[in-house]
Amino acid sequence: MLIFDKFADMNQAQAFATAVGKQLKLKTHVCKSQEESNKLDIFPFELHPPIVLVDRADEKVEKAAIALAKQYGAEFAGT
């Protein structure tokens, strides 16, 4: 999964997840904590909630998701 964090608030995270679903047709999961996100995909470094997990896709679509995250004030944490 692609992992995004550092959203300003849960509303921004939800808006990003919705945009990814509609524009890129990828499944997303919005998490309130790293503990919650680790149940779906363990990430060994500290994340800053809220966190959005996005299903993997081809490189072009993943790059589009990363660019979209920046529009929502988030950062791509990794995979």
Extract the tokens encoding 29: 């999961």
22, containing H or E segment: none
Q: Residue 36: what pLDDT? A: 97
Contact 14, 66 (CB under 8 A): no
What is the model's pLDDT at position 21?
98
**What is the distance between the alpha carbons of residues 45 and 65, in angstroms, rounded to a whole number?**
21
CA angle 6, 41, 16 (to 5 degrees): 40
Q: What is the mean pLDDT of residues 59-74?
A: 97
Q: How many residues does the chain have?
A: 79
pTM of this structure: 0.95
CB 52 within 8 A of CB 28: yes
* Confidence class for position 53, pLDDT limits 50, 70, 90: very high
